[in-house]
Structure 1
Amino acid sequence: MKKIVLTGGGTAGHVTPNIALMPALKKDGYQISYIGSYDGIERRLIEELNVPYYGISSGKLRRYFDVKNFTDPFKVVKGYFEARKILKKLKPDVIFSKGGFVSVPVVLAAKSCKIPAIIHESDMTPGLANKLAIPSAYKICHNFPETADNLPEGKAVLSGSPIRQELLTGNRFKGLQLCGFNDEKPVILVIGGSLGAAAINEAVRKALPVLLPSYQIIHVCGKGKVDAAIKNCPGYIQFDYVKDELSDLLAAADLVISRAGSNAICEFLALNKPNILIPLPAGASRGDQILNAASFEKQGFSYLLPEEMVTDESLSKAVNEVFENRETYIQAMRSNTASNAIDIIVNLCDEAVKSRKKRKK
């Protein structure tokens, strides 16, 4: 049996693509183990799946001054030796890394153990963790064509992002039923998130008088952000958070309004959902969402609406424009070549395993 170690953590975005890969890896004959931090979000998500989990020391390397910058490098070094010990025990044939700072010592340890490591970079430009790991990588998968310009020649593979298969099997009727909606009007799904989504939530609610005569609206507004004053507004429903219901709500949606996190927008792409992207502004992030959204707009997948331009009027205008031209967006998404990330990545893992076996002979 082939053996693979998955790694990545710090946020759910560094874990869910690994989880999406697991069924295909198992089907292809891989025995899966996972290396993450001692107590990060990844531990809970992976242990729920009964996948063997190994925790290592993890430190964050920051671009700004922080007292922890003096101690965290020692945590990374400790994590490297812990990862090396685990890899020597598990003897995997290949590593797959989804990023986050916990993945850096794992990828470096893999190189020292002569185990090929495949890295996935979600955003347009590599984050600091992946920048540190890239020189040790066998291949680097990425979501955006432009990313290849920032990667070593011969290592870049345009794969797209692994998508949770349950998102592809949502039921439109169940989604409509959950919201008390019907098929008479198109449905807009707004996924504003929690932190930093105030501008989206406010614009959507101000635009309700203009939008509701023509659309039904599902608004995932973030924990604690439900507006009780409009809770019973016909054709408009609010959720503070959704999990298992998301696949059915996406199936019900004719158009999505969202931030521009790479995993989310790749899900819209896989589902061929016309979308309006309102990326986090540069002051609230390293600017990766702005670049992600610009790439999707350039490829004809999305309508980009910068947060500083968001008003009820601009949002209503964007909704009407995207809905009227929805078939153009759908056709662009259907013609996308990097739409089968799971198969591409599993095949890369197989290629790496075969290459390693040849070198051993």
Structure 2
Amino acid sequence: MRILLAGGGTGGHIFPLVAVARQLYTESEKEKKSPPDIVFVGPADKNGAQILKGNKIKTRRITTGKWRRYFSLLNIFDSFKILIGLIQTFIYLWWYMPDIVFSKGGYGSFPVIIVARVFRIPVIIHESDSVSGATNRMLARFAEKVIVSFPADFPELPAQKTMLLGNPVRDLTGVNEQYARSQLSIQTVKPTLLFLGGSQGALQINTLVLSALKELTNLYEVIHQTGDKHYKIVVKYAEEKLPKSNISSYHVFPSLNEIEMKNAFTVADIIISRSGAGAIFEIAQLGKPSILIPLENSASGHQDKNALIYQEAGACIILSRSNVKPHILLDQISSIINSENKREQMSRAALGFAKPDAAKDIAKLLLQYGK
């Protein structure tokens, strides 16, 4: 079976696609069938390309353009890029002719779904967030099924095709805590905080950490994933401003590979993160209490809504824009760390929200419709 994966090229799209691809191999092996031939078609940034390559997923890059819903001269330029992408995709799909397409949405998936429609190739679309993206809204009518992650209303998606399966995530479970602590050079018994800036880094979170770094490292072990762009600046600041006695409690990384991420999630008592779907469902998978800081001006406010739904489940605390201040962060962390009852309640809520079988369920659906 030939399965084509489509979507944007950043971690938010790539990680779920990889999770599904792994499960496709597993399901085929269980059924004693030949492993599927899987290829990703779309854009991919440096990190995304490395992740795909590391998971032995073939990649076919195409030119992609983004149509902005406001006047911009860039729309003229990107119109040509969209046209080129459609031609490239048409040629490739005519040659490759997959049995099914699995799309994560985003402008990178637009030409793939359009051309798949021309060739009558079945398409299954996945919407990660609690608010559907523009491409998914536009093209959902062409899909056999539309899978959503959040228990939210999606009036713009065809109800008869829509099903709730959750967001497929990497398996970050199964790591021994003492082993993880040794791998991260954590030497004290202080509670551990994990700050995640996402695959591209989060300036607001990085700034917040640095503003409270001395106080944080006095009380906690701090694991801080900065993103490549901000890493050197963060390290320089820490070296200049942090007391030498605190340095050993600050563990800073530009990015975390999968093994490092497993270790970090295992030892974390609280995770502080943006509220993209991938982050929320990975946090939920391990039942970790979390503090979420939604990205300002995220498309259609999806990070705000993601976080609100997760908070209503009892699994997190939200720091709104007006509350992203060092003293408020410290107070919220303290309120969780100092209350075993609160930690247990948030952990149970997170585990209850998780969809640990999402990748497996999606893989089975693809194998069913791709026959």
Q: Same fold (TM over 0.5)?
A: yes
The one of 319, 322, 325 aligned to 1:308:
322
Q: Could you tell me how far apart the structure 2 residues matched to 1:49 and 1:211 are?
A: 36
Residue in structure 1 matched with residue 270 of structure 2 by the alignment: 255
1:298 to 294, 301, 312: 312
Q: Residue 242 of structure 2 aligns to which amino acid in structure 1?
A: I
Residues in 2 aligned to 1:183 and 1:39: alpha-carbon distance in whole angstroms:
37
Q: Tell me what 2:177 maps to.
A: 172
1:312/1:5 Cα in 2 relative to 1: closer, same or farther (>3 Å)?
same
Tell me the equivalent position of 1:239.
252
Provide the C-alpha distance between the structure 1 equivalents of 2:196 and 2:44, rounded to a whole number of angstroms.
31
Work out the number of aligned pairs and report it.
351
Structure-2 residue corresponding to 1:142: 148
* Alignment of 1:110 onto 2:116: yes
Give the percent of matched residue pairs that are identical in Structure 1 and Structure 2: 32
Contact 2:226–2:255, Cα closer than 8 Å, also in 1? no
Q: 1:276 aligns with which of 291, 309, 317?
A: 291
CA RMSD of aligned residues (A): 2.6
Q: How far did residue 6 of structure 1 move?
A: 0.9
The question of 1:331 aligning with 2:336 is answered no
Q: Does 1:60 align with 2:73?
A: no
Q: Which residue of 2 aligns with 1:155?
A: 161
User: Partner of 1:358 in structure 2?
Assistant: none
Report the counterpart of residue 357 of structure 1 in structure 2: none
Unaligned 5+ segments in structure 2 are: 29-35
> Cα distance 1:55–1:194, how it changes in 2: closer, same or farther (>3 A)?
closer
Asked whether the equivalents of residues 5 and 96 of structure 1 are also in contact (C-alpha less than 8 Å), the reply is yes
- After TM superposition, give the deviation of residue 248 of structure 1 in Å: 0.4
Q: 1:215 to 1:41 in 2, by over 3 A?
A: closer
Q: Quick one: which amino acid aligns to residue 362 of structure 2? A: I
**Structure 2 letter corresponding to 1:172:** E
1:134-189 CA distance string (max 9 Å, x none): 22111111221115344211121212211122x22444223322443346332111
Question: Within 5 A, what are the aligned runs for 1:1-361?
Answer: 2-29=1-28, 30-37=36-43, 42-165=48-171, 167-182=172-187, 184-193=189-198, 197-207=202-212, 211-212=216-217, 214-222=219-227, 223-224=231-232, 225-226=234-235, 227-228=238-239, 229-230=241-242, 232=244, 233=246, 236-244=249-257, 245-282=260-297, 286-323=300-337, 324=339, 325-336=342-353, 338-354=355-371
Q: Are residues 237 and 353 of structure 1, via their aligned partners in 2, closer, same or farther at CA, if it must alter by over 3 Å?
A: same
**1:213–1:15 Cα change, 3 Å:** closer
Structure 1 residues 70 and 202 mapped into 2: Cα distance closer, same or farther (>3 Å)? closer
Q: Which amino acid aligns with 1:122?
A: S
Which consecutive residues of structure 1, in runs of 5 or more, have no partner in the other structure?
A: 355-361
Per the TM alignment, residue 213 of structure 1 is displaced from its structure 2 partner at its CA by 5.7
Three-state SS of the structure 1 residue aligned to 2:353 is coil
Q: Which moved more, 1:240-249 or 1:210-219?
A: 210-219
What residue is the counterpart of 2:32 in the other structure?
Answer: none
Q: Is the 8 A contact 1:9 1:42 kept in 2?
A: no
